[in-house]
Structure 1
Amino acid sequence: MPTDLPATAASGMPATAAPALSAPALPAFAAAEELERALGCPFDPDTGMSLARGLHADETETEPVDAYRAAWAAGLHEHLVPVSEGGRLASFETLTAVVRAASRRDLAVPVGLGSTFLAATPVWIWGDDEQRRRVAELVLGRAWGTAGISEEAAGSDLLATATRAAPVDGGFLLNGRKWLVGNGRRSSFATVLAASDPSFGLFLLDFDALDFDALGSDALGSDSLGSGGVRRLPKVRTHGLRGHDLSGFTLDDCPVGPDAVLGRPGRGIEMVSGMLQYTRTLVGGMGLGAADTALRIALRHARERVLYGEPALELAPVRALLARGFADLLVAECTALSAARALDVARQRMPLWSAVAKYLVPGLCLDSIGACGEVLSARAYLREGVAGGAFQKLSRDAAITPVFEGTELVQLDTIRAQLLSRARRSGGSPALPLPLLFGFGDPVPPLAPREQRPSLTYGGTDEVLDLLDEAVAALADDPELASMARTLLMVRDETRETFRTLSEVRGADAYEAARRHCLVHAGACCLHTWLQRRTALGGLAADRAWLSVALRRVLARLGLPVGPDRESEHRLVHRLQQLDDDDRAFSLVPLRLAPQYRGPERTT
């Protein structure tokens, strides 16, 4: 076991200077480090994306204009456009890291840009040359996009979509109301799901170019609206993300030409299901960034707050909470990174893995933030004081991450359906090697969205769980870790048997089995990360302590708690301190952050 950690009174280890924490960042994460340098420390009130400026916008319920300007100046929007279309999107592993860096500061910014990405994704995949050119021009020009999918009455039931695209001479007339969509008021373009002939379709609306004369007055009728038949709806007031434009728009005989149709007619539901695989995965980066800042606030408070004559960090319950919060973040990270990498190298698995990641990662990050709130105690609710009162805003903002792109129940239903389909058929697609799937930071083939279109089923092969047996065998020299891994293996087999014998495909047992599948998936991701990448990543990733505590957190959620590993918890807190002092992300990945601000705003 490594012993390269500094001492504190709680550890009982001798005081020694700590060596370098880890190797330099891998190329896949270089863009995130570049963004960190450009944006500066979020605790510095003078930076455009500072916590303080975000708080001010939140208090006044106004758009965080300074944060958007800083993000644009740093080129964050360029990562939404593939390299083939003139942007910087080369891999989803890189994009997730970039989203994570932005989310350390103000979630309103990556959420707004995420809505743009959701609108643009089907264009990158199914759009023709002119559609891709125009949307790339808009996004690179700092325009907002909106995905016109959600409707008040339909909820997550896409088949209940009421918006209609009626064919007329020269194109279509769109009628309907899209509500609770990001960037609804400020968007320059939209992708709209509408019922059409022969079935549902996706339509690209360039709001700036809409012109009633395009279809002629006879097609429009005398009662048509001006301004292209589009009415913007008021911004919806929300508990968190108060600076985000969550609103909608109404289409009243909105005319579009045949060139507005995306992809093959009648494939709208299929395309929406496919594009959500991307954004569901990227939500994980938002949760990881928010949890990083929450941990940083709680750790610094615990180091500086004096209770009973000593720093609060020396109190055993405080250290246990920080270790628990850090371990939850690392479980979430292993799950999120493997899903993001799979978008690059194993897109055929994403009908299952994207739903698993969306179900798991936001919830784990919220649990991490919750542990930090316990450390802060009453100060977690204050709109002043510790970190200028940023924690309460962060908690409110992050609370939405399990909801958008499909709620937890929606994800469990998707997972249930995928696993039930597998249980009822034999065979599967050829397995992919674990070094490819978990080679975080290793180069990937050039991104080619049009050549790697998403599928609706994952093919029946799930390497993360299928190869769990090999992970157990590889841990033979560590009986404690091997025992926890065998427990995960037992739950995997029990869950698969449940799906083979289900009497009610939508009964409570099916959803509980889907939930347990997700937790085994998370534990397996931790094991594969440890076995495949600890040497390459070094530092924290090579310290057994993180895996010991992480597996215990997973087993506890399965109702199979094992005794605590206090020594590993102490080591995790030491690592947390090291990473903060060395301006590193709270991550297994060696990612350097913007230099730490050490001015008065840090005081508690």
Structure 2
Amino acid sequence: MADRSFLDWPFFEDHHRELADALEVWCADTLPVDHTDVDAACCDLVAKLGTAGWLTHSATDDGTAPDVRTLCLIRETLARHDGLADFAFAMQGLGMGPVTLFGTDEQRAWLSETRMGRAISAFALSEPASGSDVANIATEACPDGNGFVLNGEKTWISNGGIADVYTVFARTGEGPGAKGLSAFLVPADSAGLEVAERIDVIAPHPLARLRFDGVKLPGSALIGEPGKGFRIAMSVLDVFRSTVGAAALGFARRALEETLARVRERHLFGAPMSELQMVQGHVADMALAVDAAALLVYRAAWTKDRGADRVSREAAMAKLHATETAQDVIDKAVQLHGGDGVRSGQIVEQLYREIRALRIYEGASDVQKVVIARAAMGD
């Protein structure tokens, strides 16, 4: 059983502890699921999470941000049990994040579907030539009567190919660079929207490249104000970036848990591995990394929940440290498992593949360093 003493920290309230206890029971009964057919598994997980009520925490009804500590607790716990379950939960919140924070009542009708697990959402920001450089987005939404016509491509889109609705960021030209972007709500069955390519990665998730060829959108598809797309995207990432660190924390906790069991049971030179000082040194480094990551993740979440307008610095620190140290923790777990650590299907081998992408998506580690440095210099 993973260490859960962190729930006694003052970052949390009783309802957080009650939620964590209930989710732990649900995960033990439900996860992991069969990942043989990744699309089917993801759809099944969204339905299960919706039926059980966990997706109600992914969005609010009043235009405020969801409770970030709750999001982090859910992502950490799900990731510890099943990485794909964490993915399924996270994308429902991120995909509908712009609607949650800036959507109209008409657009919010989608929230009742995504929170119940009856519809799958996706966040379409990245492009072939603009990943971290959001201001360089080339997809265009040109005015057309009372609506818009959407042309361009998006890539690395999570839930691409299985989503029912996409939040798409496109250039509308109110200003140069980041000042000329807007956000749109685009149903997956829109004429001219094509899944151009499905993308396979080392830890299988539903990913795709999307092509928009003359997609006609009504004026009601615009989320928030025209030209405010960059602000909308950054506001959403400000909420959800800390939760990426929480997912990494869940992976790291599982790696530590598996390692502790391994070194207690495995014997070398006539004694348990746990008695070797070199092994104890590795375990100490892993435990330290987990607790330090947890402190940064839940500080960022607590700060946002306390009413901070922006937590870019705190969220960047949480994501950067949690994802980078989780990679190291999992690498040590693989090493201490020896040959079994690289055997396909082993838990630590799965974690080794799962963790790598978290250092890239929702702001690569190098980008987080820039955010932190600028904040430290008062820029």
Looking at secondary structure, tell me which structure has more strand per residue: 2
Decide whether aligned partners of structure 1 residues 130 and 62 sit closer, same or farther in structure 2, where only a CA change above 3 A counts: closer
Decide whether aligned partners of structure 1 residues 137 and 363 sit closer, same or farther in structure 2, where only a CA change above 3 A counts: same
Of 123, 126, 143, 1:147 maps to: 123
Q: Is the 8 A contact 1:233 1:248 kept in 2?
A: yes
Distance 1:23 1:77 in 2: 24
Of 56, 59, 67, 1:81 maps to: 59
Q: Deviations over 1:117-166 (max 9, x none)?
A: 22211111111122123333343243111111000112211121111011
| Matched residue type, 1:173 | V
Q: CA deviation at 1:254?
A: 0.4
Q: Is the 8 A contact 1:118 1:146 kept in 2?
A: yes
1:255-274 equivalence runs, <5 A: 255-274=216-235
Q: CA deviation at 1:417?
A: 2.7
1:177-216 equivalence runs, <5 A: 177-198=153-174, 199-208=180-189, 210=190
1:98-109 equivalence runs, <5 A: 98-109=74-85
Decide whether aligned partners of structure 1 residues 108 and 233 sit closer, same or farther in structure 2, where only a CA change above 3 A counts: farther
Higher gyration radius (CA): 1
- How many positions carry a matched residue from both structures? 366
Q: CA deviation at 1:116?
A: 2.7
The aligned counterpart of 1:116 is: 92
Distance 2:332 2:294 in 1: 17
Q: CA deviation at 1:63?
A: 4.6
Distance 1:290 1:275 in 2: 23
1:515-530 equivalence runs, <5 A: none
Of 275, 279, 290, 2:251 maps to: 290
Distance 1:357 1:128 in 2: 31
Q: Is the 8 A contact 1:112 1:245 kept in 2?
A: no
The aligned counterpart of 1:403 is: 360
The aligned counterpart of 2:261 is: 300
Distance 1:48 1:285 in 2: 20
Tell me whether 1:358 sits opposite 2:336 in the alignment.
no
| Matched residue type, 1:302 | V
| Matched residue type, 2:267 | V
More contact order relative to length (CA 8 Å, sep ≥ 6):
1
**Consecutive unaligned residues in structure 2, runs of 5 or more:** 175-179
Distance 2:110 2:41 in 1: 27
| Matched residue type, 2:26 | A
Decide whether aligned partners of structure 1 residues 420 and 167 sit closer, same or farther in structure 2, where only a CA change above 3 A counts: same
| Matched residue type, 1:80 | S
Q: Deviations over 1:393-419 (max 9, x none)?
A: 111111111111011111112223333
**Consecutive unaligned residues in structure 1, runs of 5 or more:** 1-19, 41-46, 211-227, 423-604
Sequence identity (%) = 26
| Matched residue type, 1:49 | L
Q: TM-score, normalised by structure 1?
A: 0.57
Q: Is the 8 A contact 1:359 1:408 kept in 2?
A: yes
Distance 2:328 2:377 in 1: 29
Q: TM-score, normalised by structure 2?
A: 0.89
Specify the SS of the correspondent of 1:282: helix
Tell me whether 1:381 sits opposite 2:362 in the alignment.
no
Q: Is the 8 A contact 2:27 2:81 kept in 1?
A: no
The aligned counterpart of 2:103 is: 127
Q: RMSD of the TM alignment (CA)?
A: 2.5
